Amino acid sequence: DSGVTQTPKHLITATGQRVTLRCSPRSGDLSVYWYQQSLDQGLQFLIQYYNGEERAKGNILERFSAQQFPDLHSELNLSSLELGDSALYFCASSVRGQNTEAFFGQGTRLTVV
Amino acid sequence: AQSVTQPDIHITVSEGASLELRCNYSYGATPYLFWYVQSPGQGLQLLLKYFSGDTLVQGIKGFEAEFKRSQSSFNLRKPSVHWSDAAEYFCAVAGLDSGTYKYIFGTGTRLKVLA
């Protein structure tokens, strides 16, 4: 157990809908990272937060957004869902974002039908 | 900008054989390097990491990796593979990029182990 908790584990929804994925980082970790893993794209970095502030953006679509709350948990919001958004979404956390490894949650498998 | 290349998408080895998974990185300074393993349906688990010091690092499950600065490589090795090692392996590089600490992952190498 990495200490990073992601909910839900599985999500099935229809095209055009909106979903929210939740991540609770390890206790004491200030940095949260979101990744998307699909069969054809590999592990793609989406966005990073550090202590509530957005720090870096990767290949995140405009239909996607995220935030990190004062208690350090993070949510990834995906809207106007398309079939191509079906993927595993991982959250990772690290202590300060520097000089440490990232710990990964078990992921949320999103299926858009 | 940072980048990681894992040139082998798939590798098949027999149980008991030795294993080497290749990883090349691009980064302007000394990087922090990691190998993660992902079993089917699971998250990524850290195998080992290199920050500084001895260039040969030992990890969990009998894995080791060697940092070679001259070759910009961080290859993962195991002397004798077990069937339970079948999984996908990701190399990652971390460091400051435009003022922000980032982790960049390779595309992964899927390992198949033959009995």
When pLDDT is cut at 50, 70 and 90, the band that residue A98 belongs to is low
**pLDDT tens-digit profile of B5-46?**
999 999 999 999 999 999 999 987 778 999 999 998 788 999
Closest CB to B103: pick one of A4, A33, A42.
A33
C-alpha pair distances (Å), B20 with each of B51, B60, B75, B100 = 21, 15, 7, 32
How far does A37 lie from chain B, in Å, by closest CA? 10
Q: Is the pLDDT of residue A6 over 70?
A: yes
A2:B90 CB<8 A: no
State the average pLDDT over residues A77-101: 88
When pLDDT is cut at 50, 70 and 90, the band that residue A97 belongs to is low
User: Which residues in chain B are closer than 8 Å to A23, comparing Cβ atoms?
Assistant: none
User: Which residues in chain B are closer than 8 Å to A43, comparing Cβ atoms?
Assistant: 90, 105, 107-108
C-alpha pair distances (Å), A60 with each of A23, A45, A94, B86, B93 = 17, 8, 20, 31, 20
Tracing tokens 């990796």 back to the chain, one arrives at B65
B101:A97 CB<8 A: yes
A103:B46 CB<8 A: yes
Least confident piece of the model among A8-17, A36-45, B73-82: A36-45
**pLDDT tens-digit profile of B83-100?**
999 999 999 998 877 777
Closest CB to A56: pick one of B34, B45, B102.
B102
Share of chain A above pLDDT 90, in %: 76
